[in-house]
Amino acid sequence: MPLLLIILMLCLGVARGAVAHPMGEPPGQMVDIGGRRLHLNCLGHGAPTVLIDIGLGAASLEWEPVMRRLAGTLKVCVIERAGYGWSEMGPYPRTSAEHVNDLYLLQRAAGLKPPFMLLGHSYGGFDMQLFARRYPALVAGLVLVDASHPEQAERFAAPPFKVQIAPSSRMGLVHFGRRPGVVPGMTRAAEAQTRFQYENWRPRRTIAWELLGFRDSEAELREEAPLKALPLVVLTRGKRVWPAGEHGDQLEALWLSLQSELAAQSPTTAHLLALNSGHQIHLEQRAAVVYAVGLAVDAWRCQTTPAGAKGGYSGPWMAHSPEHLRYLTNRLGLPTAEPVTADLPP
């Protein structure tokens, strides 16, 4: 077959969408936001709609077990940022401002009904904090799961910590070592997507650009107006990730301090420790994440509905607090919420 004919057939195949994605057909839908498409996967029904933004380099399929637990009462959607999973590439640089613009276009194009309960894990916390600050009328509340802080790179780099967690500028190279090990609790589909994220050029390039723009994302968040008063739940890892010793103790204390500052952004807030989890709380203590979302949802309902103000809208997540979960702060004003305990885990 002549080479020109082969090239022409390949081009026609791309134009007709005949070239299969390496991961197969996506769950959910591909949404056109104006010349490019993003992947959105939703389960369940009920208000407010929960929108989940994943961590840097993470797989959206990691969140399906949590989504299934919430879907009996709420509509819950996980978004894939441009360049991740099935989502098409977006313009560079890849910073939180670009992600928030995409999310605004995505929720409109998909016909999602606000207000939204925003959930951001790790780097996704940048995006959801920025969206909540920029579009407060669209937001019911905010749940931050071991989320990034807008000063964390600078404060980790300062004495006595002296740890570089992000490049100092966008000029540089990101070196990919071996792909991260699979965290216990991942489904096979999430494991496959994790492999894809670290072996395919498109998500690898996206991850690199997000990391190179990490400090720019911090600055974008700092420069935005402060967060409006809304239900805010911060869920922080309880297991240490830094090595034992004085320096590791200092780093652990800094992370907890940054997390407490995130929780202090709103007067209606709760800060909880997931005592049996490292950074991947949604995989290691799923019930804790479901409970955190439930707290924020109930706080929003108490503020917005007469029945909620009487405690009549508590969801199944409020039947009891999950094991290995401890409150550090509780100012949600919920009649069914657990009492505050200020002691830290050993």
Which pLDDT tens digit goes with each residue over 113-140? Answer: 999 999 999 999 999 999 999 999 999 9
Tokens of 267: 């007067």
Mean pLDDT value across residues 41-56: 96
Comparing 101-105, 277-281, 315-319, which segment has the lowest mean pLDDT?
Answer: 315-319
pLDDT of 58 higher than 70:
yes
From 38-52, 106-120, 229-243, 304-318, the region with the lowest mean pLDDT: 304-318
Of the candidate ranges 97-101, 189-193, 285-289, the one whose mean pLDDT is the lowest: 189-193
- Alpha-helix residue ranges (DSSP H) falling in the chain: 3-15, 64-70, 96-109, 124-134, 152-157, 188-199, 201-212, 214-223, 246-263, 281-284, 286-304, 306-309
Q: Which fold has domain 29-330?
A: Rossmann fold (3.40.50)
pLDDT reported for residue 29:
96
pTM across the whole model? 0.88
Asked if 119 and 145 count as a contact pair (C-beta separation under 8 A), the reply is yes
Average pLDDT, the chain: 86
Q: Determine the residue type at 228.
A: K
Is the pLDDT at 12 greater than 80, yes or no? no
pLDDT at 341: 47
pLDDT for residue 323 is more than 70: yes
Of the pLDDT bands very low, low, confident and very high (cuts 50, 70, 90), residue 338 is low
pLDDT of 8 strictly over 50: no
pLDDT > 70 fraction of the chain, expressed in percent and rounded:
82
Q: What is the mean pLDDT of residues 229-245?
A: 95
Nearest alpha carbon to residue 259 among 283, 279, 243, 284:
279
Taking residues 151-158, what's their average pLDDT?
A: 95
Measure the CA–CA gap between 233 and 270, rounded to whole angstroms.
5
Q: How many whole angstroms separate alpha carbon 48 and alpha carbon 68?
A: 16
Residue 182, pLDDT above cutoff 60? yes
- In the predicted model, what is the mean pLDDT of residues 149-165? 94
Tell whether the model's pLDDT for residue 157 goes beyond 60.
yes
First to last CA, the chain: 70
Contacts of 327 (CB under 8 A, 6+ apart): 270, 271, 272, 338, 339, 340, 341
Which of 28 and 345 is assigned the larger pLDDT? 28
What local confidence, expressed as pLDDT, does residue 271 receive?
A: 98
Give residue limits of the domains in the chain: 29-330
Question: What number is the average pLDDT over the span 310-318?
Answer: 55
pLDDT confidence of residue 331:
94
Question: Is residue 237 pLDDT above 80, yes or no?
Answer: yes
Max avg pLDDT among 269-273, 321-325, 334-338: 269-273
From the CB of residue 75, how many other CB atoms can be counted at a distance below 10 Å? 21
